[in-house]
Structure 1
Amino acid sequence: MLPDNGGRLGGYSGAAVWGSSPAIDISRRHVYVATGNLYTAPPGVTKCQERQNNQRGKPTHPDQCIGPDINFNSILALDLDSGRIVWSRQLGGYDVFYFASLVPNNPDCPPGPNLDADFGEAPMLLTIHPNRTRRDVVVAVQKSRFAWALARDNGTIVWLIHLLDFVVGGSKGGGIWGAATDGRRVYTNIANGDRENFTLAPSSQTTTAGARVALDADSGEILWTTANPSNDTAQAPVTVANGVVFAGSAASNGPIYAMKALWKNFVVV
C-alpha cells in the first residue's frame, strides 16, 4: 500500500493489512482492505511534522506532511482482477508508530503524536438506507475511536462516528480484531487496555473496563454501550447470530458473553 522504495533505506514502511480478511464485492469486482499505521517515514516528512509542533491532523482532511499515495490508516478498494487501487481514503493523519515508542523518552521514537491508529478490524459490506436512500457502503472501525461508512463506488464518507466522548483509542484502546453486523446494526468491542474511565453512552454510567458498542447502521448513532461484566479489558472480537451478540473477555477464567442485539443484558455461556 506504499510506493516501492527501490530497496533504499530511510523511506516509508508499514501500512500493513493485518485486521483480518478483506471484503469482496463480486458485482463491482472490488476487494476492500483497511491498513495500519506507518513504521517509518522519510526525514523530510518527520521534519515537516516537527515544524507543525507534532499536531494531530483531522482524519477527514489530507495530511500536510504526507502525500496522497501513502495509504496508511486507510480504507481502499482494489480491482479484483488486477489488484490495482480503484480508490483510497486516508483516515488518520500523521501516524508513525512502533512499540518502542511506548518507552518513555526513547530517543529513537519518531516525532509524535504516534497515535497507533490502525484499522484492526476487517471491512464489512452493508446496504443501508440513510434518509430513506439506498447506499452500498463499506464499514470499518478504527483503533482511533472512529467508525466509518464509505460509499463502495468511490470512498465518499456516508457517515462517521467519533467515540471520543466515551472511549480512549490507540494501541490499547479502540475497536480491534473484529466488528460484526446484522445489516441493521454494527457491533464492535472497545478494548480500553489502559483502563481509562469513560462513559457508557448514551447513558451516564462510567467504567474503567472494556466494553461493547452497538451503532445504527444507517446513521452511526450509538444505540447502546455495555461494560465487560468481569471488569476486564475487552480485546476479543464480537460475533452476531440470530439476534445475539457473542464476545469473549480477557478475564483469567475465559468467559464468553451473549448479549441481546437490541439491548445490552448479558448471559454467560
Structure 2
Amino acid sequence: MPADYECCRFRGSLVALNAATGDQVWRTYTITEEAQPTRKNKAGTQMWGPSGAPIWTSPAIDPQRNVLYVTTGDNYSDPATANSDAFMALDRDTGRILWSRQMTAADAYNSACRMPDKANCPDANGPDLDFASAPILVTLSNGRRALVAGQKSGVVHAVDPDREGAFLWSTRIGKGGTLGGIQWGSAADQSN
C-alpha cells in the first residue's frame, strides 16, 4: 500500500437481496459509524478510521430464531472497534445487529504493516487475527446450541447463540499467524 494512499474508509457489511428482483432489502455495516479523518501518516497523507471488520465468509442461518450469524475480521485502521474479530448476530428480516461478541480486541492491521516504512500501518499493528472461517451453528450432545468458528490465531471459539453470544470455550488447534491459523472450509459432525 503506497504511502500516498488515504487509508482506509471501507467498512464490512452484509447485504440482503430480494431473490426474485435482486433489489436490496437491507444492508448492515459491521462498523456503524463512517470513517472520519484521524491523523496524517509519515508522508503527510490523511488517514481515516475506523475501517475494516470485513465479513470473509457466508453467514450461518438460524431459522429457529430468525437470525443470521457472521464472523468478522480485523480493523484496517485506528481506532479499533468492538465488532472486529467478532461473532455477530443480525435479525434476518431487518439486518438489525442483535449482539456482538469480540474475541480479539484492539486488532487493527493492514498490508502496510509488512512494509519497511509502515507509513499506513495502524498504531495497533495487529496481531491480524481475522475470523477467516464461517460460523457453524451446532447442537451439542447435551442439547445446548453453540456457534463455532476458527480464527487466524489457530484458535476455535464457541459462543452461545441463545445467550447473546456468551463465551462457551476456546481451544488452540494450530500455530496460527497472519497467513495461517484456521481459514475457509470448516465443518462440524453433529453426531460426535
Which string of whole-angstrom CA distances, capped at 9 and with x for unpartnered residues, describes residues 107-151 of structure 1? 43222441110000110110003xxx3211111000012111111
Distance 1:35 1:108 in 2: 21
Distance 1:35 1:25 in 2: 18
Q: Note the aligned Cα RMSD (angstroms).
A: 1.8
Tell me the residue number matched to 2:10: none
Distance 1:8 1:96 in 2: 16
Structure with the larger RCO, 1 or 2 (CA within 8 Å, 6+ apart): 2
For residue 50 of structure 2, the aligned residue among 2, 7, 12 is 12
Tell me the residue number matched to 2:72: 35
Maintained 8 Å contact 2:52/2:77: yes
Which residues of structure 2 form unaligned runs of 5+? Answer: 1-29, 38-47
Q: SS state of the match for residue 181, structure 1? A: coil
Q: Does 1:118 align with 2:130?
A: yes
Distance 2:111 2:36 in 1: 23
Maintained 8 Å contact 2:133/2:183: yes
Distance 2:117 2:110 in 1: 14
Which residues of structure 1 form unaligned runs of 5+? Answer: 43-65, 186-269
Distance 1:116 1:181 in 2: 25
Maintained 8 Å contact 1:149/1:157: yes
Matches within 5 A, 1:94-243: 94-129=106-141, 133-153=142-162, 154-163=164-173, 167-184=174-191
The one-letter code of the counterpart of 1:150 is V
Higher strand share: 2
Q: SS state of the match for residue 101, structure 1? A: helix
Distance 1:88 1:26 in 2: 19
* Range with bigger deviation, 168-177 or 135-144: 168-177
Percentage of identical aligned residues: 39
Tell me the residue number matched to 1:197: none
The one-letter code of the counterpart of 2:132 is G
Q: SS state of the match for residue 180, structure 1? A: coil
Distance 1:15 1:178 in 2: 20
Maintained 8 Å contact 1:95/1:114: yes
Tell me the residue number matched to 1:24: 61
**Which entry has the higher C-alpha Rg, 1 or 2?**
1
The one-letter code of the counterpart of 2:36 is R
Give the number of aligned pairs.
Answer: 152
Output the TM-score relative to the length of structure 2: 0.73
Q: SS state of the match for residue 94, structure 2? A: coil
Distance 1:11 1:105 in 2: 20
Tell me the residue number matched to 2:86: 74
Aligned pair in 2 of structure 1 residues 96, 176: CA closer, same or farther (>3 Å)?
Answer: same
Q: SS state of the match for residue 100, structure 1? A: helix
Q: CA deviation at 1:105?
A: 4.6
